[in-house]
Amino acid sequence: MQTRKPGILALEDGTILRGHAFGAATNVVGEAVFNTSMTGYQEILTDPSYSGQIVTMTVPHIGNYGVHQDDEESDRVQASGLIIHELSPIVSNWRAQGSLPEYMEAHGIPGLSGVDTRALTKKLRTGGVLKACLSTDGLSDEDALARARAWEGLSGHDYVADVSCKKPYFFNEQGFASEPFTVEGTVLKPAGQDRPRFRIAALDFGSKRSIFRKLAYYGFDVHVFPANSPIETIQELKPQGIFLSNGPGDPAILKDIHQTVAKLIEHYPTFGICLGHQIISHALGAETYKLKFGHHGGNHPVKSLETGLVKITAQNHGYASTEEDLKQRGAEVTEINMTDNSVEGLRHKELPLFAVQYHPEAAPGPNDADPLFDDFYQLVAKHA
């Protein structure tokens, strides 16, 4: 029987959690958060919104269905590390191309199993997110704790610059499949197949591939631009709409992007999600604030203030928009989170503009928010 290598997670409050190392043998620092999704660990790990974070999965058994290249949301693992309770000793899935430990080792990312993730989640939920150091390469408790406390944290660092694309591209230029995943043999007619297609500029703040797939599926030709693209470059495309993606980090420090978006929303129908929602808030002159422990998972209830209906959403963000600021700057709050009443959606009273704080592409997560892509299509069609 192979001996399992020990590892530790040191939290800035002095807590040391011990477990079994897997993945890469290395030492990383990051913000410790928890995710309540039941499945989708590969999509979560490769979501650029997790840049700078060490993710704890609340579901106790992880790794049983392995990994597959088509489930990657970006070209690499973006999370700094992974904390789980129990690592599956086998992979049992007809699609699997490898195991989770092999995948993480190949990407240079450490993991820790055998941790009381229930206790860790309760700590983060009660006290808020904590700076942490995950060591699978033999750091002492004292050294790991010192690294956790010395880390600068998410606020003040431009993580968007680290994960955004480096040059513009057309999403479908390589013939990438834009249809949702289905079992082989299932026929699914694309929603945008029999209607005009519209050209949109998508600003990549750390977008997931599934978002661009959904946009293409609903009838958009998706031209992706780096986050720091000057407005003149975007306007050369003559877009019929603007999409603002998800992404990591503190939205308040992205001053140049705020200014660019403030100009774009004056001229084009615009849809923003997650970080895009927060950037729109700043572009309108509103403020954002850091949530106690953020919203991370595929089971967050959101209530529409326009219809009274509740949808279950996939979320991954640590900041939120200030409701009163939005109302004073021409925006209506359209949706709220039912667990903490934070802002989950906005619509401008005069501009063709709306945004949501969650991930409507749901990868992983429920499909309740799918109609938002069609709402965006209808908004662009109205102003085309």
Question: What tens digit of pLDDT does each residue of 347-369 get?
Answer: 999 999 999 999 999 889 899 99
Question: Hunting for tokens 């970006």 — which residue is that?
Answer: 74
Q: Is 323 a catalytic residue?
A: no
Question: What tens digit of pLDDT does each residue of 317-330 get?
Answer: 999 999 999 999 99
Question: Hunting for tokens 């011990």 — which residue is that?
Answer: 18
Q: Is 359 a catalytic residue?
A: yes
- What backbone phi and psi angles, to 5 degrees, belong to 94? -70, -20
- The closest alpha carbon to 26, from 134, 177, 125, 142, belongs to 134
Q: What is the mean pLDDT of residues 287-302?
A: 96
Question: What tens digit of pLDDT does each residue of 172-227 get?
Answer: 845 444 555 555 555 455 555 678 999 999 999 999 999 999 999 999 999 999 99
What's residue 48's pLDDT? 97
Q: Is 361 a catalytic residue?
A: yes
Asked whether the predicted pLDDT for residue 1 surpasses 70, the reply is no
Confidence of residue 170 (pLDDT cuts 50, 70, 90): very high
Confidence of residue 155 (pLDDT cuts 50, 70, 90): confident
pTM above 0.85, yes or no: yes
CATH numbers and ranges of domains, the chain: 6-150 (3.50.30.20), 160-383 (3.40.50.880)
Active-site choice (223, 274, 335, 348): 274
- Are 377 and 198 a contacting pair, CB within 8 Å? yes
